[in-house]
Amino acid sequence: MDFYITTPIYYVNDRPHIGHAYTTIVADAIARWREAQGEQVIFSTGVDENSQKTVDAAKKANEEIRAYTDRMAEIWQEAWAKLGIANTDFIRTTEERHLETVREIWGRIDAAGDLYRGTYEGLYCKGHEAFIKESDLVDGLCPEHRTAPEVVKEQNYFFKLSEYQEKLLRFYDEHDEFVVPANRFREVRAFVEQGLEDISFSREGKEWGIPVPNDPHQAIYVWADALVNYVTVRGIEGWEEHPADVHAVGKDILRFHAVIWPAMLMSAGLPLPGQIAANGFITNGGVKMSKSLGNGVDPLDLAARYGVDALRYFLLREIQYGEDGDYTEEKMRVRYNADLANGLGNFAARVLALAERESFDGVPGMKDGVPGEEFSGVIAAMRRGVDGKMAAFRLGDALAAIWDAVSFGDRYVNEKKVWEIKDDAARREALLGLVLLLEAIASALAPFMPETSRKIAAAVSRERGVIHIKRPDALFPRISS
């Protein structure tokens, strides 16, 4: 295994919306890009089931908790399959392999002397699955979830997070790309520099959750359980050998991943992940998507209407990675018609239609089907652009590099008026260059738009050095606006 990437494990109290789909598609594109470079990739996603939200949602649905989580886990798994997500593992935190790993890591943290019993008094927000400060409340409510926090006073186990402030800061100094984008890393560092407080790591008398080893009246705090999923997927030894290279997460859960998780791993004597990449948040027409507003955009509905690849393209291209972005149906249509129907789709259709009538065997001046200099320069620049941008998590810019090549091809067809070239050899040479460019575009597109990439690749075949073209149906039929 060469590369290990993860998504958050999502709560099962709801179905996936485009925000969840976005993080998952980003991780999928990175995983596929790595694989295309010949690396062996582990790509895990899954669901976080041991949350109080699960209990509440099951109650509301009038279902037994286990039956409810089984049903929801399937919904999430199916959604990712429908969106072309090529995860190699799907983890549920109710699985035995996970319980074992959580117990093992809890035991290691305990053995390191980093757990102690204490009394916690505070305000617990179920939406956050975390304690929040009184000073953060607005009119007595959590400003994000608009619910009143639970007043908690109970005995529980504490994790000595405060002990890790210096160690974390030193680690950050030594790993200057531990969190991307850089502005988010600065926020994390500033937070840690303010000083860290110990955190409550268990809850008293909870009916649902992983029991604290040797203290069944306490359930392990859901985040202390959920973060461990990344180790569960590899097993302790596997993680020691090669921990996650990238945890792709949203900015809302960055502190858990960049502060608490590394501290837990340090305490447990395990290696730290390579990088935490945090995406921004997607709004629906400028409004935050939330369960209470019921305005979560359904990615499966969009995929059914525009196609999976169009949805993947929209999310990866429209939103600058790391920054917040906005979804509207109008923006989706504009991108679809301009970049896909008129852009890539039209270019592919033109080239394939012109080339369909030709045979490329033995075109003078061509060396073994290698494109002329002009084309090979454009192809090389596109590949360099994609690789450079992907390495820096600039997925939208990587797509832009591919679209530069599409624009070049379009201009070439128009300026050379390829269809009017009378000289057979010259016309074929131009078309061969265009076909090879289109093939290179298809191959560069594979991590982002796997289906489209396959369709274009399948349109071009070779038989004893002769290229044959079989035109597919329109890749992106125009949508009337």
Interface residue list for ligand ME8 (CB under 6 A): 8-11, 19-20, 22-23, 48, 226-227, 229, 249-250, 252-253, 279, 281-282, 289
Nearer to ligand ME8, 296 or 369 (CB): 296
Nearer to ligand ME8, 323 or 356 (CB): 323
Beta strand spans in 148-232 (E)? 150-159, 179-180, 199-200, 202-204, 211-212, 215-220
Q: How far is the CB of 11 from ligand ME8 (least distance, A)?
A: 4
Nearer to ligand ME8, 251 or 416 (CB): 251
Q: How far is the CB of 45 from ligand ME8 (least distance, A)?
A: 10
Helices 450-459 and 346-356 sit at what angle, rounded to 10 degrees?
10
Q: How far is the CB of 378 from ligand ME8 (least distance, A)?
A: 34
Q: How far apart are CA 147 and CA 165, in angstroms?
A: 31
Using CA atoms, how far residue 61 sits from 39, 79, 381, in Å, is 43, 20, 54
Q: How far apart are CA 386 and CA 397, in angstroms?
A: 8
Nearer to ligand ME8, 102 or 459 (CB): 102
Give the SS3 label for residue 323. coil
Beta strand spans in 251-342 (E)? 275-279, 282-284, 287-288, 325-327
Nearer to ligand ME8, 20 or 428 (CB): 20
Q: How far is the CB of 244 from ligand ME8 (least distance, A)?
A: 11
Nearer to ligand ME8, 264 or 432 (CB): 264
Nearest alpha carbon to residue 197 among 277, 255, 111 = 255
How many residues would you count in the chain?
481
Q: How far is the CB of 77 from ligand ME8 (least distance, A)?
A: 14
Using CA atoms, how far residue 339 sits from 24, 84, 407, in Å, is 23, 21, 10
Nearer to ligand ME8, 306 or 321 (CB): 321
Nearer to ligand ME8, 281 or 403 (CB): 281
Q: Do the bridges between strand 215-220 and strand 202-204 make them parallel or antiparallel, or are there none, so unpaired?
A: antiparallel
Q: How far is the CB of 282 from ligand ME8 (least distance, A)?
A: 4
Q: How far is the CB of 253 from ligand ME8 (least distance, A)?
A: 4
Q: How far apart are CA 397 and CA 318, in angstroms?
A: 10
Nearer to ligand ME8, 23 or 267 (CB): 23
Q: How far apart are CA 45 and CA 400, in angstroms?
A: 27
Nearer to ligand ME8, 291 or 416 (CB): 291
Give the SS3 label for residue 375. helix
Q: Which residue is nearest to ligand ME8 (CB)?
A: 19
Within 336-372, where are the H helices? 346-356
Q: How far is the CB of 400 from ligand ME8 (least distance, A)?
A: 21
Residue partners of 375: CB distance under 8 A and separation at least 6: 433, 434, 436, 437
Using CA atoms, how far residue 389 sits from 182, 263, 382, in Å, is 15, 31, 11
Q: How far is the CB of 437 from ligand ME8 (least distance, A)?
A: 34
Residue written as token pair 């502190």: 255
Q: How far is the CB of 327 from ligand ME8 (least distance, A)?
A: 9
